[in-house]
Amino acid sequence: MAEWTIEALPTDAGVDLRLVLPIDGETITAVLSFDRAQARALGRLELAAAGEALDQTFPAPLFPSHEGTDA
């Protein structure tokens, strides 16, 4: 299985996300440029998506709560 990479590179205006993807035996590089506001919005969306995925994967706590105990 071919590997892909993603790299965040700071720029004067914000950030570039550089994606290197193996497609049909070729290496394709895509650069997505974001200004600071767009980069912050993308970061918030990624955190929200990760939280949603976590909630769907683990809908209940894995460990019992220690509330109300001396622990």
pLDDT in tens, 9-68: 999 999 999 999 999 999 999 999 999 999 999 999 999 999 999 888 887 777 777 776
Predicted local distance difference test score (pLDDT) of residue 1: 54
Which pLDDT value is given to residue 42?
93
CA torsion, points 29, 44, 14, 23, in degrees to nearest 10? 0
How far is the C-alpha of 44 from the C-alpha of 18, rounded, in Å? Answer: 19
Whole-angstrom distance, CA of residue 2 vs CA of residue 55: 30
**This prediction's pTM:** 0.64
